[in-house]
Structure 1
Amino acid sequence: MYLDALTIAALRDELAERLLGPDASRGGRVQRIVQPSALSVGLEIYAGQRYQLLASAEARSPRLLLVSERLRRGVEKPSPMQLLLAKYVRGARLEGVHQPELERVLRLTFTGEHGTVHLICELMGRYSNIILVSSDGFVMDAVKRVPASLNRYRVTLPNHPYVPPPPQEKVHPRLLTSQDLLAMPAEAPVWRRLVHGVLGISPLLAREIVHRATGNAEREGALDPSTAGAVVQATVDLLRLTETHAWTPCVGLTHEGGVAVPVAYAAYDLTHWPAREPADGMSAALARVLDAARPFDAYQQVRERLYALIDDQTRQAEARLASLRRSLVPEKEIEAVQAKGQAILGMAWSIQPGQEALEIDPTEWGLPAPADGGPLHIPLDPNRSPSENAQELFRTYRKLRAAAEGVPERIARAEADLAFLQQVRSEVALAEDRPQLDAIEGTLEEAGLAPRRTKPRRAATPGAPLSVHAADGTLILVGRNSRQNDEVTFRRGSPDDLWLHAHGVPGSHVIIKTGGGAVAEETLLQAAQLAAYYSAARHEAQVLVDVTERRHVRHIKGGRPGMVTYSHERTVTVNPTVKGDWEE
């Protein structure tokens, strides 16, 4: 789930209250340093009693919270980061806990025998990191070292200056006006407009704002000025918690097999959530939800290896796409090169030996005029004849033309690869057993996105799609990986069947076998719930699901398994189903 700015602010206040004391004059002392995993850090801090502080930069569930159990070492040998923490932080006192305004970042300041250092916890999804920074602002180490080849703007390596995350180009919530909201595109739900346009707003917070303002968290369409004003006021009221510190930590619940399961946390009352309970502090709320979301996973090592492989391929595809986009020359610029060559040939009679530029009237040769409206000057090589200068431009034109003809196709392939990798990453998260994970790895190998193993491994079959019978007996098929998606949609689905997919996020293909007849609304909603559950939006309170006839679904030409386009869809909104609600 998304750690937003309000959650971080509530954590800041909680840590300050418990670890710094009421007057923040004498912070707790760090007694012990452990590294539970390669991407996490644990501190035992004594401040009147022992507290266990866990920080993790895991992409799927970054966190910084107080935990009840004593933290244990989870790595074989200490990392350089842990050794530095042992030297500079163990035995030191916590002097401060600071959050840059509305950022998902907390900075813990420690002062000890070797001076003052800052432990900066950036809790930003797959960009999360834990960085140890010196008092003069230089990186000492990090759990994720980031070289310039991965991020030229933010190099996170020892002895480099610490650079904070770049500011987002969004409206500050205190400056938000009704006019700002009315100017946002009305096609998206109101909560999504807030997420995209206002600083520090997460999807959960945005839905809460819209619910408090309108009574409907999923409100869509254009807003009148009065309603827009109510949304702005609700935004301001909730963000004011960072000043009043009147936090009311809360856990949102759903039900699996009649059991209440915590799936959402907030620093405020989740009034739009059907079932909720107060929590004894922000750390307690986070721990309850995160522990429920990630129980012991026997396949964690396999998942982590696949995530690392997919993330590496994603970085390569992103770099390739950026390079291709930079190399794409506008059509007008390409044609201008040819026109300049033609102008040189046409004006060859006027060019004198040793001349370094040709002055022409651009309008006579179909060229854009300079900004000052004067003549255009074409550079010449004084050591070449007019014909040779023109031929050099024609050669450049042919190269640009050849590149322009190939680059768009290569851009499309890179974009398709990125979409496929996002889909496969979602499949890794949703895989429920080792055969499913092996099938995903096999799909990556076949796509040329993973090295084939030199040693034979057990056959990675895609397995059978999930088959579910609705209450009226209608068969529903669910693909749980890319190859199963292809099978469900194109081999077992008929043109008259209904096809479903979670809107705008990676997820499973779902088919309702209609037999050419009408589909009951209850069956359609059950299939939509399955599509939502087997998608990257599984833990959202509500999910949009697209529905269309299978005849309107097309495999992307040259695309990877499971990559499709579709049309003639309508959209339904459902709560993601849980396994207790259906039988296979």
Structure 2
Amino acid sequence: MPFDGMFTHAITQELNQELAAGRVAKINQPFDNELILTIRSNRKNKALLLSAHPNYSRIHLTTEKISNPATPSNFTMSLRKHLDGAILNQISQVENDRIVNLFFNHRNDLGDSEDLVLSIEIMGRRSNIILYESGSGRIIDLVRHISADQNRYRLLMPGAQYLAPPLQETINQFEDVNKTLAIVNELMTKYPNYETLAGEIRHEFQGFSRDTSLEFAYELVSRKESREQIIKDFLTNFDNPVPTLSMNDQQKYYFSPYEPTQLDNIITSEGFDSLSKLLDRYYLQLANQDRVKQRGKTLIRVVHNDLKRNKGKLKKLQQTLENTKRADEFRIKGEVLTTYLSQVERGMTSIELPNFYDNDSPLKIELSNQLSPSKNAQKYFTKYQKEKNAVTFVTKQIKLTKQEIDFLENIESQVELANPDDLDEIKIELENQGYIKQKTTKKKRVTIKSKPEKFISSTGTSILVGKNDSQNDRLTLHTADKQFYWLHAKDIPGSHVIIESKNPDETTVDEAALIAAYYSKAQNSANVPVDFVQVKNIRKPNGSKPGFVIYEGQKTFRTTPDLKQVLALKQ
């Protein structure tokens, strides 16, 4: 379900229970639209994520480890000045809308107490995080500055008066159940069809998205209990949620505070201890992909442009190679002319001669009337030699270009699968290979020796995964025991996977194959082939690109990547 007003009601209650009376210990802004407040509550540090991302705006606790930029933003500095060490008194929702206010008390530089509000407006592309004074409403700072030209209703700039978004004239069903019941009775009389009823519910009540209104309408129409009881039960889903992650047959995920019944073709559901853990899991890939796009814009552009250029070059080379197939034709014509040179007269423009390579038909040969018979023959031998040399050159260039494409597609896959922290090492690799110009020195930068991802199989065996070419080379060629086993998606860009065992059991091999398929370009495919071979059978050709190896004696397994299983094995 979307992060609507109903879900906001549920998450606000959870955050209030977890964080109220906590003290702000750290403030960081790892990405343009994301803020993380570390709040010390009940003797534990808890990371509160506030995101004003246009597609993934939300608020929840997170356990994800996110690195911060070397230089804090102006907004971060403003928050640190006013909220560092502040007490979080309360977290509340505005009506049943997608606005959450965090009320802080803080002592300023003069030692005077000041009440501040940090407000997050979860409204798609209009989402924002705003710090303002509780009494005067003066805006101190905000993530996105909105001028009067951009929004005529309200000015969102430092120093301006904070004005909340306009509220719709609808009923807050959590505040007045009796009025809610009366309106529901009236609507059900007019609209007995639950889908039509769902649309009217969205018009009359606050905070209902399409998915939530369909669930509510279906319960009203299908259940036999009194409507008052149905309403109370449905609202209880948000006061006492059962966090659920569901997946349909198209592998699309949905999050909800209850077990949904009206989502299309649900095939699996997974429960969580809290709404925050549910959201952490749901946004794991979505938000991570977007973070990588933000931090890796240059890498993505360079790889995309070089891939496009090399694929265009390969197409032209293959066409040139196709054209060189006439080389033998030139040779045959030269030999035939030389054999029957006595029959050729100067001034001829063409001649038909017996073809001793094909006795069934004569061979027509074009001639230059400006050349002697022997010069005409020599002309064909010259063309033959030129085409023959071209075949050698073009074949070599095709091989080199295919290697470039394989390398770049592998880098492209690594960027897609990377965490934001992995991008620095990928960038250095591209610099060392000459794809990105180094700004500071002509010497190759020393590659950061980061550690591979570690997994533990169900039977306790360690499985290591290289996340980029440098890691892959170190892991496979230098770190791994020659008796260990290596896996890689077959003929597909992806990570090197090492099973740290000389005799792995079947379960470990199956799980390692699953991990290898997941950390490849075929991550979202089914029935992915994965090669399995001992490390001793792997070699790296001289002069080959980082991450490239050849091997023999492999077995091939087929598996379907599954995020849930991969996360369950992660160390």
Query: TM-score, normalization: structure 1?
Result: 0.48
Higher Rg of the two aligned structures: 2
